[in-house]
Structure 1
Amino acid sequence: MLLGIVLVALNLRIAIAAVSPILDVVRRDVAFDDTLAGLLGAAPLVSFAVFGSLAPVVARRLGLEPTLVAALLLSATGEVVRSTTGTPAAFIAWSVVALGGMGIGNVLLPPLVKRYFPDRIGPVTAAYSMTMAFSTTAPPLLAVPLARQLGWRTSVGVWSVLAVVAVVPWCVVIARRAATGHGRRDVDGLPPGASGPADQRVRSGTGRVWRSPLAWGLAVTFGMNSLNTYALFAWLPQILTDAGLEAEAGGRWVALLAILGLPMSFAGPLLAARLRDPWPLVAALAGCYVCGYLGLALSPATGTAVWIVLLGLAQGVFPVVLALINLRTRTAEGATALSGFVQGAGYTAAAPGPVLVGVVHEVTGSWTPALAVLLVTVGVLAVVSLVACRPAVLEDTWGARPRG
């Protein structure tokens, strides 16, 4: 189970990370204009929001494991086919397919941890969060050499192999269940139609996640953090270049920003699992955002390393929220519903962020107002995370009523 979870996590950012370093090469061959390139840049957040929202619905019908297998195969298909296309529209469409599979995987990983490792939520979340961070940093280092040696199509399509490999452990799980007569199980771990303990039925079966203040708190916290993360990766190189640094230096600082996600991906879930109320941790990470943005606004070319380290550490909000999805639910069904809502609503809120930052910079001619916008979103994150972090359980707050 742990191998399966880690292999899935390894696939969840590759469709993004493998293309961005060689986008200029792809554009020359596939004839992207700036507008279509912008659409491609917006595709991850939009795909994660749409497909992530659909994941709980599909999982309730098919079960967690079969839905995950379908998502991995969907992602592999999108990665392969887009590497063979010759038009921008087809490349974007099949990128959405690949990203859609990843969006479903994003949502299903927390409930799978809840199902198979309910007493190891912190360590297992740390393991797959670190793997996701690694899958963000490794492909950019390999994509350019692969494109030079084998061509950009191979560089883009070869990562589909990892999705196919990730399917294997879950096919074994499904086959074993079929062989032992267990068959498909609902996302709460019970066979279809089975009756569990009355308390579990009341608390897990009939709630509406959007009724829960906890769910909204987690969704807004997740969304504001994602907005800042994607805005930084989109605009940090230009911010530093406009401050007088060389273009190559901007790329190196972005790489450092991604690498700093690794230690926080490990530490964040472990700390969240140990703290009854992890809001002080989230507030400290929000403070890192504030100090990093103030540094970029006041002295971007001096002290750059300090500002990037602070912003890199601030990314720890993401794995903390992933851990809280499981820590604040009782059942895999609750974790599935909460994960789908948090990531669907969160990525929807985050999607306009990079565009908004670019528009503010273009209108004002300065990065200071754009960074001020990001500071406002960090303030929202810090305040709303009070609700997200307080000790509560989704099944007690989502308006559940007894079945039957």
Structure 2
Amino acid sequence: MTSQPEYGHRTGRGLDVLALVCLILIACSLRPAASSLGPVLSEVQGAYTLVEWQTGLLTALPGLIFAICGFIAVPVLKKIGLFSSLVMTCVLIAVGVGARVLVDNWVGFAGLTVVALAGMSIGNVILPVYVKTRFPDRASLGATAFTVSLGLGAMFPAFLTAPITGHFDNWRVGLGVWALVPACALVTWIILKLARSVPNLDQPAQDTHEADPPRRHIFTSSKARYMAMFFGLQSVNAYVQFGWLPQIYRDAGIDPVLAGLMLTVVTLGGIPGGFLAPQIIMRNILPRFFLVTFSVSAVCGYLGLLLVPTTVPVLWAILLGYGGFAFPAALALITGRTKDVSITARTSAFVQSSGYVLAAIGPLAVGGLLGLSGGWSVPLWFMICVAALMGVTGYLAATPGTVDDELETAGPRGGASGTCGGTAGLRGGMPGQK
């Protein structure tokens, strides 16, 4: 039995399963372009004769592109709609991942990597809108599927890229195979559209909300700034690990496949983290304590890599994986430390966009420090400092109170501009919003 809910799309058991499969496939497409590169970074370096700054730039691209496209994703959604936005996401990822392995120069490889990352970053912002509108009565199911699928999309490329490369004796096959995931997502998304089961955001259920009162810019909230720093620092950890961790293990003398497996262990933490970390924040279960433990765990993991990388390599990977629980916790803080929907949207745009700017600097800095020092000691001390600061900012971000309270205390002052205020036009199209 099917029904026609408020956004003009058909629902029913079969269609809902197809919609969930589509969500999983698209979410799984939002990480492989980044997490598949680390296990074959040495081969890519050799193929294009890269120097350290070029390799560092490749590992910094995810954070940089995510920061830039965080500002344009919502205007794209408002301009071309939900269906076309996610078509764009899938096409950009598939073309970027598939075509970058066919070029013979570094500029082309980097440029097509940017294409894939642009699709990923737009999907990062827009896919939660699909979750809200397509699963309004099963928000927990949709949110969990989204978060866990992000973890799977990071884990499987980290685990399988090196074995696939070894099997075919060709790193281009190991990287290019991941274009199949967004291609399958695109086919499923089109089928869902043909079945008239894609929400139409041009037909909001209600648009009777009163005009929002003037608000100060989100930047004036100290909590929002701490959240942005926490988000950025945990992203530095994540993208340094995606780009450099297998190489750190390989330079210590570990087999390439085992080095890739260590990154898999780290990314595997995204699955339990996707379940547990949001509960810690949303249910207020000692959030500051747990955020500090994520930081301490990451510090210990980096110390292990610095002092005895080959003694118990899996232990250091496990510690870094637990430190990675900070990512879903950072996303949950955006919701848990805001009340009004418009403040949530503005805070999300500010935290993610500014946080990814910081994330872009980290891997580039690691590459530069590696080139200057000629070894991993200085870069790893740098990451120890990053992990420690992550704990400090996480503790401050998780203190009681909300961004809304801080903005009200500061008093009204002419609304926000740019991306931070650019989501208001979508409010009528989000379920449950008045």
The TM-score normalised by the length of structure 1 is 0.80
Q: Compute the displacement of 1:316 (Å).
A: 0.3
Q: Give yes or no for contact 2:38–2:246 (8 Å, CA) kept in 1.
A: no
Q: Give yes or no for contact 1:177–1:184 (8 Å, CA) kept in 2.
A: no
Give a deviation string over 1:206-254, Cα, whole Å, max 9, x none.
7644343333222111110111222234444454456565666544433
* Structure 2 match to 1:138: 156
Distance 1:305-1:222 versus aligned 2 partners, 3 A rule: same
* One-letter amino acid of the structure 2 residue matched with residue 94 of structure 1: L
The TM-score normalised by the length of structure 2 is 0.75
Give a deviation string over 1:178-223, Cα, whole Å, max 9, x none.
999x6625xxx667xx332x3xx426x9764434333322211111
Q: Secondary structure at the match of 2:202?
A: coil
Q: Give yes or no for contact 1:111–1:326 (8 Å, CA) kept in 2.
A: no
* One-letter amino acid of the structure 2 residue matched with residue 220 of structure 1: M
* One-letter amino acid of the structure 2 residue matched with residue 380 of structure 1: L
Q: Compute the displacement of 1:27 (Å).
A: 5.8
Distance 1:14-1:384 versus aligned 2 partners, 3 A rule: same
Q: Compute the displacement of 1:106 (Å).
A: 1.5
Q: Which of the numbers 214, 222, 227 marks the counterpart of 1:213?
A: 222
* Structure 1 match to 2:75: 57
* Structure 2 match to 1:13: 31
Q: Which of the numbers 174, 179, 190 marks the counterpart of 1:160?
A: 179
Distance 1:80-1:389 versus aligned 2 partners, 3 A rule: same
Query: Unaligned 5+ residue runs, structure 1?
Result: none
Q: Give yes or no for contact 2:34–2:243 (8 Å, CA) kept in 1.
A: no
Q: Which of the numbers 208, 217, 239 marks the counterpart of 1:195?
A: 208
- What pairs up with 1:40-51 in 2 under 5 angstroms? 40-51=58-69
Q: Compute the displacement of 1:25 (Å).
A: 5.1
- What pairs up with 1:247-286 in 2 under 5 angstroms? 249-275=258-284, 278-286=287-295
Q: Which of the numbers 347, 362, 385 marks the counterpart of 1:353?
A: 362
* Structure 2 match to 1:224: 233
Q: Which of the numbers 372, 379, 390 marks the counterpart of 2:399?
A: 390
* Cα RMSD, aligned residues only: 3.7
Is 1:125 aligned to 2:134, yes or no?
no
What is the distance in 2 between the residues matched to 1:350 and 1:168?
Answer: 32
Q: Compute the displacement of 1:157 (Å).
A: 4.0
Is 1:3 aligned to 2:3, yes or no?
no
Distance 1:158-1:364 versus aligned 2 partners, 3 A rule: closer
Distance 1:282-1:111 versus aligned 2 partners, 3 A rule: farther
Q: Name the % identity.
A: 32
Matched residue count: 392
* Structure 2 match to 1:33: 50
Q: Give yes or no for contact 1:237–1:250 (8 Å, CA) kept in 2.
A: yes
Give a deviation string over 1:90-149, Cα, whole Å, max 9, x none.
222121011101011122234444455577666543332221121122124443555554
- What pairs up with 1:236-247 in 2 under 5 angstroms? 236-240=245-249
Is 1:81 aligned to 2:91, yes or no?
no
Is 1:315 aligned to 2:324, yes or no?
yes
Q: Give yes or no for contact 1:72–1:167 (8 Å, CA) kept in 2.
A: yes
Give a deviation string over 1:59-116, Cα, whole Å, max 9, x none.
3444455433322222223233334433322222121011101011122234444455
Q: Secondary structure at the match of 2:317?
A: helix
Q: Compute the displacement of 1:336 (Å).
A: 4.2
Q: Give yes or no for contact 1:126–1:319 (8 Å, CA) kept in 2.
A: no
What is the distance in 2 between the residues matched to 1:45 and 1:62?
Answer: 25
What is the distance in 2 between the residues matched to 1:304 and 1:145?
Answer: 19
What is the distance in 2 between the residues matched to 1:376 and 1:119?
Answer: 43
Q: Give yes or no for contact 1:114–1:331 (8 Å, CA) kept in 2.
A: no
Q: Secondary structure at the match of 1:202?
A: coil
* One-letter amino acid of the structure 2 residue matched with residue 195 of structure 1: T
What is the distance in 1 between the residues matched to 2:41 and 2:371?
Answer: 23
